[in-house]
Structure 1
Amino acid sequence: MSIPDHARANFQTLLRAAADGNLALMECADAATGETRYVICAVGRDSTDFLFAPFGHLADGNPYDAYVPPAPTLPDEQAS
Protein backbone atom coordinates (compact mmCIF):
# COMPACT_ATOMS: atom_id res chain seq x y z
CA MET A 1 0.00 0.00 0.00
CA SER A 2 1.42 3.37 -0.99
CA ILE A 3 0.54 6.71 0.59
CA PRO A 4 -0.86 9.04 -2.11
CA ASP A 5 0.94 12.29 -2.95
CA HIS A 6 -1.89 14.52 -1.67
CA ALA A 7 -1.71 12.84 1.76
CA ARG A 8 2.07 13.29 1.86
CA ALA A 9 1.69 16.98 0.91
CA ASN A 10 -0.94 17.55 3.61
CA PHE A 11 1.28 15.84 6.18
CA GLN A 12 4.22 18.09 5.24
CA THR A 13 1.94 21.14 5.62
CA LEU A 14 0.90 19.87 9.05
CA LEU A 15 4.54 19.40 10.08
CA ARG A 16 5.44 22.94 8.94
CA ALA A 17 2.48 24.39 10.86
CA ALA A 18 3.54 22.48 13.98
CA ALA A 19 7.16 23.64 13.67
CA ASP A 20 5.98 27.25 13.30
CA GLY A 21 3.55 27.03 16.24
CA ASN A 22 0.60 27.47 13.89
CA LEU A 23 -1.69 24.64 15.00
CA ALA A 24 -5.01 24.90 16.78
CA LEU A 25 -7.40 22.40 18.32
CA MET A 26 -10.98 23.48 17.66
CA GLU A 27 -14.27 22.10 18.90
CA CYS A 28 -16.50 21.60 15.85
CA ALA A 29 -19.67 19.74 14.92
CA ASP A 30 -19.50 16.80 12.50
CA ALA A 31 -21.21 17.91 9.29
CA ALA A 32 -23.01 14.58 8.84
CA THR A 33 -23.97 13.64 12.39
CA GLY A 34 -23.76 16.86 14.42
CA GLU A 35 -21.53 15.07 16.95
CA THR A 36 -18.82 17.10 18.67
CA ARG A 37 -15.37 16.63 17.12
CA TYR A 38 -12.02 18.02 18.23
CA VAL A 39 -10.34 19.09 15.00
CA ILE A 40 -6.63 19.69 14.39
CA CYS A 41 -6.23 22.81 12.24
CA ALA A 42 -3.33 24.69 10.67
CA VAL A 43 -3.65 28.42 11.30
CA GLY A 44 -2.88 31.01 8.66
CA ARG A 45 -3.44 34.74 8.23
CA ASP A 46 -5.14 36.79 5.55
CA SER A 47 -4.45 40.41 6.45
CA THR A 48 -6.09 40.75 9.88
CA ASP A 49 -8.19 37.56 9.58
CA PHE A 50 -7.21 34.12 10.85
CA LEU A 51 -7.74 31.13 8.54
CA PHE A 52 -8.16 27.60 9.90
CA ALA A 53 -7.48 24.61 7.63
CA PRO A 54 -8.82 21.38 9.15
CA PHE A 55 -6.63 18.29 8.86
CA GLY A 56 -8.55 15.74 10.88
CA HIS A 57 -10.13 15.07 14.23
CA LEU A 58 -8.88 13.30 17.32
CA ALA A 59 -10.14 9.76 17.73
CA ASP A 60 -12.86 9.19 20.30
CA GLY A 61 -11.99 6.61 22.93
CA ASN A 62 -9.02 4.35 22.38
CA PRO A 63 -7.44 5.04 18.96
CA TYR A 64 -5.88 1.56 19.00
CA ASP A 65 -9.43 0.20 18.71
CA ALA A 66 -10.25 2.46 15.76
CA TYR A 67 -7.47 1.50 13.33
CA VAL A 68 -5.83 -1.60 11.93
CA PRO A 69 -2.16 -1.32 10.88
CA PRO A 70 -1.28 -2.18 7.28
CA ALA A 71 -0.39 -5.77 6.50
CA PRO A 72 3.37 -6.38 6.28
CA THR A 73 4.82 -6.29 2.78
CA LEU A 74 6.89 -9.26 1.70
CA PRO A 75 10.34 -8.39 0.20
CA ASP A 76 9.38 -9.57 -3.31
CA GLU A 77 6.14 -7.48 -3.24
CA GLN A 78 7.76 -4.09 -2.54
CA ALA A 79 7.11 -1.37 -5.07
CA SER A 80 10.16 0.34 -6.54
Structure 2
Amino acid sequence: MSIPSFARTNFQTLLRAAGDGNLALMECLDAETGSPRYVICAVGRDDGDYVFTPFGHLADGNPYDAYLPPDPNDPSGFIRNDEDGK
Protein backbone atom coordinates (compact mmCIF):
# COMPACT_ATOMS: atom_id res chain seq x y z
CA MET A 1 0.00 0.00 0.00
CA SER A 2 1.12 3.49 -0.77
CA ILE A 3 1.30 6.06 2.01
CA PRO A 4 -0.94 9.04 1.09
CA SER A 5 0.65 12.43 0.48
CA PHE A 6 -1.01 14.06 3.53
CA ALA A 7 0.66 11.48 5.79
CA ARG A 8 4.06 11.99 4.12
CA THR A 9 3.71 15.77 4.47
CA ASN A 10 2.74 15.50 8.15
CA PHE A 11 5.62 13.11 8.79
CA GLN A 12 8.10 15.54 7.18
CA THR A 13 6.69 18.34 9.33
CA LEU A 14 7.10 16.17 12.41
CA LEU A 15 10.71 15.34 11.48
CA ARG A 16 11.47 19.03 10.90
CA ALA A 17 9.95 19.96 14.27
CA ALA A 18 11.99 17.25 15.99
CA GLY A 19 15.19 18.42 14.29
CA ASP A 20 14.51 22.00 15.39
CA GLY A 21 13.68 20.98 18.97
CA ASN A 22 10.07 22.07 18.50
CA LEU A 23 8.15 19.04 19.79
CA ALA A 24 6.03 18.85 22.90
CA LEU A 25 4.21 16.10 24.72
CA MET A 26 0.86 17.37 25.99
CA GLU A 27 -1.70 15.71 28.22
CA CYS A 28 -5.10 16.05 26.53
CA LEU A 29 -8.48 14.37 26.81
CA ASP A 30 -9.83 12.13 24.07
CA ALA A 31 -12.72 14.04 22.46
CA GLU A 32 -14.92 10.94 22.30
CA THR A 33 -14.15 9.04 25.50
CA GLY A 34 -12.77 11.73 27.81
CA SER A 35 -9.79 9.45 28.59
CA PRO A 36 -6.38 11.07 29.02
CA ARG A 37 -4.12 10.95 25.96
CA TYR A 38 -0.48 11.94 25.71
CA VAL A 39 -0.26 13.80 22.43
CA ILE A 40 2.86 14.50 20.35
CA CYS A 41 2.66 18.09 19.09
CA ALA A 42 4.78 20.33 16.89
CA VAL A 43 5.28 23.73 18.48
CA GLY A 44 5.13 26.90 16.41
CA ARG A 45 4.65 30.62 16.93
CA ASP A 46 1.91 32.91 15.62
CA ASP A 47 2.15 36.62 16.47
CA GLY A 48 4.00 35.82 19.69
CA ASP A 49 1.60 33.06 20.77
CA TYR A 50 2.56 29.39 20.89
CA VAL A 51 0.66 27.08 18.54
CA PHE A 52 0.55 23.35 19.24
CA THR A 53 -0.27 21.10 16.28
CA PRO A 54 -1.23 17.56 17.33
CA PHE A 55 0.17 14.67 15.27
CA GLY A 56 -0.89 11.65 17.28
CA HIS A 57 -0.91 10.15 20.72
CA LEU A 58 1.32 7.62 22.39
CA ALA A 59 -0.13 4.14 22.54
CA ASP A 60 -1.55 3.12 25.89
CA GLY A 61 -0.24 -0.30 26.88
CA ASN A 62 1.59 -2.49 24.41
CA PRO A 63 1.85 -0.68 21.04
CA TYR A 64 2.39 -4.01 19.27
CA ASP A 65 -1.18 -4.91 20.22
CA ALA A 66 -2.58 -1.69 18.74
CA TYR A 67 -1.43 -2.05 15.12
CA LEU A 68 -1.26 -4.61 12.33
CA PRO A 69 1.98 -4.27 10.32
CA PRO A 70 2.12 -4.53 6.51
CA ASP A 71 2.56 -8.02 5.09
CA PRO A 72 5.89 -8.18 3.21
CA ASN A 73 4.45 -10.97 1.01
CA ASP A 74 1.29 -9.06 0.06
CA PRO A 75 1.65 -5.36 -0.86
CA SER A 76 -2.02 -4.72 -0.16
CA GLY A 77 -2.27 -6.85 2.99
CA PHE A 78 -1.47 -6.73 6.66
CA ILE A 79 -0.18 -9.35 9.09
CA ARG A 80 -3.06 -10.47 11.26
CA ASN A 81 -2.78 -11.94 14.71
CA ASP A 82 -3.56 -15.69 14.44
CA GLU A 83 -5.51 -15.53 17.69
CA ASP A 84 -8.00 -13.13 16.07
CA GLY A 85 -8.83 -15.64 13.34
CA LYS A 86 -8.79 -12.88 10.76
Task: Please report the TM-score for the alignment, with normalisation by the length of structure 2.
Answer: 0.83
Between the aligned partners of 2:46 and 2:9, the Cα distance in structure 1 is 21
Match of 1:50 in 2: 50
State the one-letter code of the partner of 1:32: E
Q: How many residues align?
A: 76
Any idea what SS the aligned residue of 1:14 has? helix
Any idea what SS the aligned residue of 2:71 has? coil
1:21 maps to 2:21: yes
Any idea what SS the aligned residue of 1:60 has? coil
Between the aligned partners of 2:44 and 2:66, the Cα distance in structure 1 is 30
- Cα root mean square deviation, aligned: 1.5
Deviations 1:21-60 (A, max 9, x none): 0000000000011000000000000122000000000000
Structure 1 or 2: more strand by fraction: 2
1:35-74, aligned counterparts within 5 Å?
A: 35-73=35-73
State the one-letter code of the partner of 1:56: G
Task: Please report the TM-score for the alignment, with normalisation by the length of structure 1.
Answer: 0.89
Q: Which runs of 5+ in 2 are unaligned?
A: 76-86
Task: Give the ranges of 4+ consecutive aligned residues of structure 1 lying more than 4 Å apart after TM superposition.
Answer: none
